[in-house]
């Protein structure tokens, strides 16, 4: 009997667990380790952070789903991985002695460690800014945002700054959706004239999103996501400041460095800035008790997989095969990583180093749809490995499509959403020899009410799928 252990139960880990439990859970042992006892639908935390959706509508309990899918569940935080001896140590959520969980195959799908510490003054834990990266953070952001609304309703003017809080941050899409939802909410409340909204980002251009932007063909012309979203910002009265890496934050001022190496300040009253994402802190211990992290992770704690690391960007950007296909560690072949937990070979967007030596670079996103696809690929390979001794499945991000629906208000009657589709996520100039390396026939950008309906439909269907209800596999990741 094979033992498969998954650490983490976000989009990647939970998707992998569903496929594993469904296929081999009765005959083999599948176990999930997660520090929370619930699944959180992260895209909806934008709405929680504005106050338009109740937190409880974005989560469901994991254990009943796993019981149904023949998956064991350990509620706690994985603290140590022993790859030579094939076991994980877990600190149980309720306290008590650490638990040893043995495995034959291990999937690390922890999601990110939110690196607030690298930016002094960043974050809700001892800092001055807010986050929507966890459910608790989204609730805190909502409460602080509502306090700002109260001041506006009392006649005060407020400056709200939304974006990224580190020169190497990712997940710009979530921050973008948050600022547009705030705009819509302020309009609805009748206080939009009391607020200045600023988009502050490490992107090279608005709409880059860490993927080198999106481009679509409209008749005889090409439109980029920068043009598309700047027009939206203009309509909404949102100012933008890109090519900026936040250095530190105090009670009322954000300090940053720009591409030219110039230092500047941005005053604010309320700020939601996404931190840098690193690998979750776990010890990797060899059979002799020594630290073997260099065999398993990069310096940021992300799991090394079957990627080509160390390529200069000029070679990486034209080499889609540098990206992993199986998400398998090259040293420990029974160890896999999915979602944000795997170490990319480098950025998709053009990196930039300032004259002061600071890298201001939007890091490659690996969230949401991408995480779910990778979770499925890893699970399918493990199922075939357990049952047939082979791993036939491979899918690089240079072969993945991604769809992003960024809501602008949650109303199904007067709301809107920007629907953005790109293929592939990592440009492939060999298959698509245009200047963007993408299929301009598939890539699309649209704005309108239909997107708002689609956004709500996707949440409903994904929550249905992720609860493992009848027909769940029909719904794509």
CATH code of 288's domain = 3.50.50.100
Query: Is residue 387 a contact partner of residue 24, using CB atoms and an 8 Å limit?
Result: yes
**φ/ψ of residue 351, rounded to 5:** -75, 160
pLDDT at 406: 80
Which among 381, 127, 414 has a CA at the least distance from the CA of 246?
127
Residue 327 DSSP label:
-
- Give the whole-angstrom CA distance, residue 302 versus residue 139: 28
Does position 456 have pLDDT exceeding 90, yes or no? no
Does position 468 have pLDDT exceeding 90, yes or no? yes
pLDDT at 321: 96
CA dist list (Å): 340 to 12, 137, 142, 273, 277: 8, 19, 25, 19, 8
- The position carrying tokens 């022993």 is 82
In a domain, 206, yes or no: no
Each residue's pLDDT tens digit, 185-237? 999 999 999 999 999 999 999 999 999 999 998 888 999 999 999 999 999 99
Q: Which stretch of DSSP H or E encloses residue 404? A: strand 402-408
Greatest pairwise CA separation for the chain in angstroms? 69
Does position 17 have pLDDT exceeding 90, yes or no? yes
More confident: 385 or 453 = 385
In a domain, 140, yes or no: no
- The pair of three-digit structure tokens given for residue 262, joined into one six-digit string: 């110039």
Does position 453 have pLDDT exceeding 90, yes or no? no
pLDDT at 310: 97
Does position 93 have pLDDT exceeding 90, yes or no? yes
Q: What's the whole-number mean pLDDT along residues 247-261?
A: 98
In a domain, 145, yes or no: no
pLDDT at 443: 86
Query: Is residue 280 a contact partner of residue 111, using CB atoms and an 8 Å limit?
Result: yes
Which among 446, 244, 209 has a CA at the least distance from the CA of 347?
209
Do strands 105-108 and 3-7 pair parallel, antiparallel, or not at all (unpaired)?
parallel
In a domain, 22, yes or no: yes
CA 270 to chain centre: 23
pLDDT at 405: 82
Three-state DSSP state, 74 = strand
pLDDT bucket at 413, cuts 50 / 70 / 90: confident
The residue range of the domain holding 339 is: 3-114+277-397
Q: Which residues of 217-243 are buried (b: 16+ CB within 10 A; e: fewer)?
A: eeeeeeebbbbbbbebbeebebebbbb
pLDDT bucket at 367, cuts 50 / 70 / 90: confident
- Give the whole-angstrom CA distance, residue 205 versus residue 181: 21
Each residue's pLDDT tens digit, 116-142? 999 999 999 999 999 999 999 999 999
- Give the whole-angstrom CA distance, residue 184 versus residue 79: 42
Which among 421, 430, 429 has a CA at the least distance from the CA of 400?
421
pLDDT bucket at 407, cuts 50 / 70 / 90: confident
Q: For all residues of the chain together, what is the average pLDDT?
A: 95
- Give the whole-angstrom CA distance, residue 199 versus residue 230: 11
In a domain, 61, yes or no: yes
Does position 87 have pLDDT exceeding 90, yes or no? yes
pLDDT at 205: 97
In a domain, 201, yes or no: no
HSE-up of residue 166 (Cα within 13 Å, Cβ side): 21
Q: In a 10 Å sphere around its CB, with 0-12 CB exposed, 13-18 middle and 19+ buried, how is residue 441 labelled?
A: exposed
Q: What's the whole-number mean pLDDT along residues 249-255?
A: 97
Does position 324 have pLDDT exceeding 80, yes or no? yes
Q: Edge-to-edge strands of the sheet including 253-258?
A: 244-249, 253-258, 263-267
pLDDT bucket at 445, cuts 50 / 70 / 90: confident
Question: What is the number of helices (H) and of strands (E) in the chain?
Answer: 10, 24
Q: Edge-to-edge strands of the sheet including 238-241?
A: 238-241, 195-200, 158-164, 270-274
Which among 427, 423, 445 has a CA at the least distance from the CA of 436?
427
**How many domains are contained in the chain?**
1
Query: Is residue 123 a contact partner of residue 114, using CB atoms and an 8 Å limit?
Result: yes
Query: Is residue 37 a contact partner of residue 75, using CB atoms and an 8 Å limit?
Result: yes
Does position 416 have pLDDT exceeding 90, yes or no? no
Q: What's the whole-number mean pLDDT along residues 325-334?
A: 98
In a domain, 453, yes or no: no
pLDDT at 292: 98
pLDDT at 78: 98
In a domain, 323, yes or no: yes
- Give the whole-angstrom CA distance, residue 5 versus residue 337: 12
pTM of the model: 0.96
pLDDT at 419: 85
């Amino acid at each position: 009997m094979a033992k498969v252990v998954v650490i983490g139960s976000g989009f990647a880990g939970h998707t992998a667990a569903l496929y594993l439990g469904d296929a081999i859970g009765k005959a083999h042992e599948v176990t999930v380790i997660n520090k929370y006892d619930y699944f959180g639908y992260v895209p909806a935390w934008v709405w929680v952070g504005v106050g338009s959706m109740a937190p409880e509508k974005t989560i469901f309990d994991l254990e009943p789903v796993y019981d149904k899918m023949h998956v064991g569940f350990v509620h706690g935080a994985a603290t140590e991985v022993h790859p030579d001896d094939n076991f994980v140590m877990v600190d149980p959520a309720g306290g008590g002695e650490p638990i040893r969980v043995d495995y034959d195959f291990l999937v690390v799908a922890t999601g990110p460690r939110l690196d607030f510490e690298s930016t002094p003054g960043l974050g809700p834990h001892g800092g001055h800014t807010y986050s929507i990266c966890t459910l608790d953070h989204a609730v805190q952001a909502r409460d602080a945002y509502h306090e700002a609304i109260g001041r506006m309703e009392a006649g005060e003017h407020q400056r709200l700054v939304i974006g990224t809080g580190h020169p190497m941050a990712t997940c710009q899409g979530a921050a973008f959706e948050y600022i547009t939802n705030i705009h819509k909410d302020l309009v609805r409340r009748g206080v939009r004239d009391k607020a200045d909204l600023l988009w502050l980002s490490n992107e090279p251009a608005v709409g880059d999103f860490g993927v080198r932007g999106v481009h679509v063909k409209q008749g005889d012309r090409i439109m980029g996501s920068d043009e598309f979203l700047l027009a939206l910002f203009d309509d909404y009265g949102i100012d933008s400041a890109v090519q900026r890496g936040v250095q530190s934050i105090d009670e009322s001022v954000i300090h940053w460095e720009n591409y030219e190496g110039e230092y500047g300040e941005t005053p604010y009253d309320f700020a939601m800035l996404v931190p840098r994402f690193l690998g979750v802190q776990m010890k990797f211990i060899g059979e002799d008790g020594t630290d073997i992290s260099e065999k398993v992770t990069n310096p940021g704690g992300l799991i090394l997989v079957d990627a080509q690391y160390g390529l200069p960007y000029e070679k990486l950007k034209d080499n889609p095969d540098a990206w992993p296909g199986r998400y398998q560690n090259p040293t420990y072949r029974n160890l896999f990583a999915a979602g944000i937990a795997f170490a990319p070979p480098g950025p998709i967007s053009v990196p930039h180093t300032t004259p002061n030596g600071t890298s201001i670079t939007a890091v490659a996103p690996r969230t949401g749809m991408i995480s779910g696809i990778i979770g499925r690929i890893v699970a399918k390979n493990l199922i075939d490995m357990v049952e047939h001794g082979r791993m036939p499945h491979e899918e690089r991000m240079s072969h993945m499509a991604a769809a992003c629906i960024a809501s602008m208000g949650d109303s199904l009657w007067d709301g809107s959403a920007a629907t953005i589709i790109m293929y592939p996520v990592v440009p492939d100039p060999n298959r698509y020899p245009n200047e963007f390396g993408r299929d301009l026939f598939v890539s699309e950008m649209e704005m309108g009410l239909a997107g708002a309906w689609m956004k709500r439909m996707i949440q409903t269907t994904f929550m249905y799928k992720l609860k493992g209800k009848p027909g769940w596999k029909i719904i794509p990741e």
